[in-house]
Amino acid sequence: MTSNPKKRSALGKGLGALLESSSSDNSTATAPAVTPTAVSGGVALIPISSIEANPFNPRTNFEKDALNELKDSIAIHGIIQPLTVRKLSKDKYQLISGERRFRASQLAGLEEVPAYIRVANDQSMLEMALVENIQREDLNAIEVALSYQRLIDEIGLTQDQLSQKISKGRTSITNHLRLLKLPAEIQLGVRDNLISMGHARALVSSGDENRQLDLYRQIIDFQLSVREIEELIRTNTSRTSEETPNVPKTASTPELSTIQEVFKNHLSDRISSKVEIKKTHSGSGKILINFSSEVDLNRIIELLNKTQ
């Protein structure tokens, strides 16, 4: 079959380049065997429009800048690692793994992508998707924990079986699963990188939900380290939930100077939005500007740009 030069060039210097040089001794040992048509069990070039996303993918957030970087790389070099799909019908496929590459390929305007083709029912597909994503993708701690929990609940694995399947220690699995006991607000904070997994692990054993949320907000407001929050929890282990927390010195809020108060009020009046200045004793801190909507944010940006 004669290949389409336009579509072949869309693969750039990635898998397409390897395939074109597959007759050489240097490339045949590493390049996957690709067929121009989709054959179950092999690798083929598949129209990207024929692939639908995987509803079982544990990753829910795709960082925009990283996705654009991958898009630029694919546009230049092509796809080196094929996607993995399952065949639904003659011309329809569902993604098992590789959703970041799939999305970036769409952004890069590729018409075809190389893919391993597998036949799998929903349960085995879910297991493959979860295991491959845990091992290959940079999931945040909550996404990893949710993947572990789904493998336990929906596949029926024990923690020991899961440990063997993904080559992770049982302690690591247990620590991740414990994060799912935290209030939703804290889980979202881990997902959005507002606090680290170390912070979250400390909060798990800090008390009831109200206590956990109180400590979580102190971490955010006062930029507490993991050691500081552990010390705060340790010094309050014998206190009841009604008692006032024994907040360490680093968690007290330094007062603003007169000049800083005037600046805060002036800026708030200038942009017609609430402005907060939060300082730490080390001299660092942050200026927070509140906005109510995308339109309100654009209004504030426009006002600030006019002052430059």
Which phi and psi (to 5°) does residue 80 adopt?
-85, -45
d(CA 200, CA 209) in angstroms, rounded, equals: 13
Query: Are residues 84 and 51 in contact, defined by beta-carbon separation less than 8 angstroms?
Result: no
Say if strands 83-89 and 112-118 run parallel, antiparallel, or are unpaired: parallel
DSSP 236: T
Query: Are residues 216 and 185 in contact, defined by beta-carbon separation less than 8 angstroms?
Result: yes
Cα separation values, 188 from 61, 182, 196, 208, 215, Å = 11, 10, 11, 18, 15
d(CA 250, CA 228) in angstroms, rounded, equals: 8
Single out the catalytic residue among 63, 69, 99, 209. 99
d(CA 212, CA 277) in angstroms, rounded, equals: 25
Q: Which long-range contacts (CB under 8 A, 24 or more apart) does 3-9 make?
A: 3/36, 6/111, 7/45, 7/111, 7/112
The alpha carbon dihedral of 231, 235, 241, 246 has a sign of negative
Annotation says 137 is catalytic: no
Which phi and psi (to 5°) does residue 295 adopt?
-65, -40
DSSP 286: E
d(CA 92, CA 245) in angstroms, rounded, equals: 58
Which amino acids are annotated catalytic?
99
